[in-house]
Amino acid sequence: MEDLSAQERQTHDFAAQTTTTVRTVCPTAPDWVAEVSIHKGVWKATIAAPDDKPVVLTVEGRRLLRLKVSYECTTSARHSYMLVETSTFELLPAKGREPLVRIDYLRHPESDVPCGHLHVHAHRDDWTFAMTRNGVGSRRRSVARRASAERAPQLSDVHFPVGGPRLRPTLEDFLEMLIHDIGVDHTDDALVVLARQRQAWRIDQIRAAVASLPEVAADVLRDAGYTVSPAAEKDRPLADPRAWLTRY
């Protein structure tokens, strides 16, 4: 039986960690809130700022940018750990609705897009020229029939892959990029906090990767001098958890 209380604790902990991360670049940011629901036996959780409002980022004290961060979470049939179903990190100008850039993650994308992808909202004539032809090599109708579309193609239509289910950029990576490349204002300990949070995330990802590839993990441990005993047949997962290795 799934331990829903454990999942709920993980979700609230994750919301608190997100708050800590965002406050490195916006000390006045509100608490990120975890809203949990169970519908027809399916456990879900949303983690976002109140009303999903963006927080303000400053450069030299000037309000130049806004940041939106949200996650949708669910559970696995194989264990009681929380899983991220979707996430969005979105950078917006101080005014206006169109983002400057965003990183999206979709655990189960509906079309042939990478599950982790980057959208750049910008313009360059060379990109537009390349995208005005029918992309007949694509299985996506919107690409294959692009020449007859009602609007001009945009660079933001492109889904740049960013590492897949296990190796995608973290929120900490995104915020540290804003510190180094944009120069957004940040707390004195921002880089230390971001490094600590990034380490925790990556350790969790390593645990998940090891759990999905026990034979590989066992081989590495044996090479390092450890003694490893195989699991009993009844303890092995019924489904193949290695599908993430080939996912786009």
pTM: 0.89
Looking at the domain assignment, is residue 184 inside a domain? Answer: yes
Contact 221, 137 (CB under 8 A): no
Looking at the domain assignment, is residue 78 inside a domain? Answer: yes
Residue 222: which domain range?
A: 4-228
pLDDT at 81: 74
What is the mean pLDDT for each group of 10 consecutive residues in the chain (248 residues)? 71 96 98 92 93 97 98 81 92 96 94 94 87 75 70 87 91 98 98 97 91 91 95 64 80
Counting Cβ atoms within 10 Å, is residue 107 exposed (0-12), middle (13-18) or buried (19+)?
middle
Domain count, the chain: 1
Looking at the domain assignment, is residue 55 inside a domain? Answer: yes
Cα–Cα dist 108/52, whole Å: 22
Cα–Cα dist 178/163, whole Å: 19
pLDDT at 144: 65
Sequence-distant (≥ 6) Cβ neighbours of residue 39 within 8 angstroms: none
Looking at the domain assignment, is residue 246 inside a domain? Answer: no
pLDDT at 1: 40
Q: Where are the alpha helices (DSSP H) in the chain?
A: 4-22, 125-130, 141-144, 164-167, 171-177, 190-212, 214-223
Looking at the domain assignment, is residue 244 inside a domain? Answer: no
pLDDT at 8: 86
pLDDT at 116: 96
